[in-house]
């Protein structure tokens, strides 16, 4: 049976490798396959603009390579199998038996690595031996031999790739990092408040009842141990004696004025705020994973203050109103930034895993159905589809998809994605 005439279709030359075909759609009249192939052939030039070109398509929707009377159609098949090359050969536009052709394909990727594929005949197709790993972005070299003749073609087939001038990337805030080892920390999230350490609170009372004649300290004042806070005139002796600070700290309560009668109540409270407590509320099943000695990452809810501390203890009594247990953290506060009453959030590190390869979570983006980062080679950026493992808010373990030491965009990666999408550099696979 004679095939319908091969047609020239307009295509975007950047992804010019040919369609990724599915079983049941490998027919010359498949409109779905033509649409898919058009998307697979989107191209971005060095400035991110879309370039237009034409190349011939074969009956299976792939790129048709011609040399005289001989033609070879290149497709990537991935329906129900990992992506694999399938080649179809023609002589004078008539199908050639797959057994009559020998072929090889070499793919040069952005970093310069080479993927090589040999082929075996399976039915009417030559099937590539090996998986065409993502991304499907490379420079292609195709060799074929049949009936004593040898043929050679080469062409670019790029996707998920763009080029951005280094100065532009820097001005846009694009930051890169190296994929490598990291410490993944499993965390339990908790909320809490900063509180006063009751062991650092002193209440100052009059030794003898009398009249307050002088007051030398006000609310919020810092005082040193031995400093005079007030003078009280004793009712018995009518002689004045000083009230002195028993410890250094801040006046957090002043309950007297000149002329007041000093009795048994506290006139001042002095609090040493150089160290404070943080009370964290831990709920339900999380409590089983939390224990004293674990690392706690604290963050102020009203500012940028962050600190790493150690969980000191878990109180044995639960809070009746919230049904939570209280986990306490002792926190140095020499600069006074952690004010009692301040709300805080916390990540309690309940497990740590050293992994050989990880990337920063801030660099992750979506590309088609994949989670990716954008690798950097010079001024060129290209997707790397990742297989991911454990993660925390900072790092995610990489099980495959990027080589150790590879540079990738770790901040402002959405700008690279936007540039690629704007240029039509992605397609429905």
Mean of pLDDT values over 35-40? 36
Task: Count other Cβ atoms within 10 Å, centred on residue 55.
Answer: 18
Opening angle at CA 419, ends 415 and 423, nearest 5: 165
Mean of pLDDT values over 197-201? 93
Dihedral sign from CA coordinates of 412, 418, 419, 425: positive
Is the pLDDT at 33 greater than 80? The verdict is: no
Between CA 72 and CA 64 the distance in angstroms is: 6
Encoding tokens for residue 6? 């091969």
Q: Are strands 20-21 and 70-77 parallel, antiparallel or unpaired?
A: parallel
Mean of pLDDT values over 234-242? 95
Per cent of the chain over pLDDT 90 is 78
Instruction: Please name the residues in contact with 6: beta carbons below 8 A apart, sequence gap of 6 or more.
Output: 56, 57, 58, 59, 64, 71, 93
Least confident window among 32-46, 140-154, 171-185, 320-334? 32-46
- The residue assigned the tokens 């990291």 is 182
Between CA 164 and CA 393 the distance in angstroms is: 29
Q: How confident is the model at residue 320 (pLDDT cuts 50, 70, 90)?
A: confident
Tell if the pTM clears 0.85, that is, is over it.
no
Report domain extents, the chain: 8-159, 163-184+353-422, 187-196+274-350, 201-271
Domain 187-196+274-350 class in CATH: mainly beta
Beta-bridge mates of residue 354: 183
Between CA 367 and CA 413 the distance in angstroms is: 12
Give me the chain's average pLDDT, please: 86
Query: What CATH number was assigned to the domain covering residues 201-271?
Result: 2.40.50.100
Encoding tokens for residue 165? 């001038």
pLDDT at 240: 96
Opening angle at CA 115, ends 111 and 118, nearest 5: 165
Q: How confident is the model at residue 31 (pLDDT cuts 50, 70, 90)?
A: very low
Residue whose C-alpha is closest to residue 329's, from 351, 307, 355: 307
Mean of pLDDT values over 195-222? 95
Reported as a single tens digit per residue, the pLDDT across 330-385 is 999 988 899 999 999 999 999 999 999 999 999 999 998 899 999 999 999 999 99
Domain 163-184+353-422 class in CATH: mainly beta
Q: How confident is the model at residue 100 (pLDDT cuts 50, 70, 90)?
A: very high
Q: How confident is the model at residue 79 (pLDDT cuts 50, 70, 90)?
A: confident
Query: In the chain, how many H helices and how many E strands?
Result: 3, 34
């Amino acid at each position: 049976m004679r095939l319908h005439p091969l047609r020239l279709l307009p295509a975007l030359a950047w992804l010019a490798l040919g369609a990724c075909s599915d079983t049941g759609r490998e027919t010359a009249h498949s409109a779905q396959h033509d649409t898919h192939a058009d998307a697979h052939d989107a191209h971005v030039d060095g400035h991110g603009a879309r370039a237009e070109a034409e190349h011939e398509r074969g009956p299976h929707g792939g790129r048709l390579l011609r040399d005289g009377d001989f033609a070879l159609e290149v497709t990537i098949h991935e329906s129900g199998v990992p992506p694999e090359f399938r080649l179809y050969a023609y002589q004078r536009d008539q199908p050639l038996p797959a057994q009559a052709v020998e072929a090889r394909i070499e793919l040069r990727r952005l970093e310069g690595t080479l993927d090589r594929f040999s082929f075996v005949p399976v039915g009417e197709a030559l099937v590539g031996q090996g998986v065409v790993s993502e991304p499907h972005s490379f420079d292609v070299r195709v060799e074929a031999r049949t009936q004593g003749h040898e043929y050679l073609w080469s062409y670019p087939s790029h996707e998920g790739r763009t080029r951005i001038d280094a100065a532009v990337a820097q001005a846009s805030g694009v930051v890169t990092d190296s994929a490598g080892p990291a410490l993944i920390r499993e965390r339990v999230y908790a909320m809490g408040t900063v509180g006063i350490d009751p062991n650092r609170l002193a209440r100052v009372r009059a030794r003898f009842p009398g009249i307050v004649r002088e007051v030398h300290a006000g609310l919020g004042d810092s005082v040193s141990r031995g400093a005079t806070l007030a003078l009280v005139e004793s009712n018995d002796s009518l002689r004045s004696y000083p009230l002195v600070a028993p410890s250094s700290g801040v006046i957090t309560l002043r309950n007297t004025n000149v002329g007041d009668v000093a009795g048994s109540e506290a006139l001042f409270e002095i609090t040493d705020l150089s160290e404070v407590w943080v009370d964290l509320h831990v709920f339900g099943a999380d409590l089983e994973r939390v224990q004293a000695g674990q690392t706690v990452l604290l963050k102020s809810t009203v500012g940028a203050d962050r600190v790493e501390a150690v969980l000191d203890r878990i109180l044995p009594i639960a809070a009746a109103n919230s049904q939570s247990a209280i986990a306490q953290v002792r926190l140095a506060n020499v600069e006074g930034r952690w004010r009692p009453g301040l709300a805080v959030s916390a990540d309690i590190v309940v497990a740590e895993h050293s992994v050989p390869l990880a990337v920063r979570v801030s660099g992750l983006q979506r590309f088609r159905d994949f989670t990716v980062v954008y690798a950097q080679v010079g001024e060129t950026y290209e997707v790397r589809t990742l297989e991911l493992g454990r993660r925390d808010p900072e790092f995610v373990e990489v099980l495959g998809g990027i080589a150790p030491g590879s540079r990738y965009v770790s901040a402002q990666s959405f700008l690279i994605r936007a540039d690629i999408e704007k240029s039509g550099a992605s397609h429905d696979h």
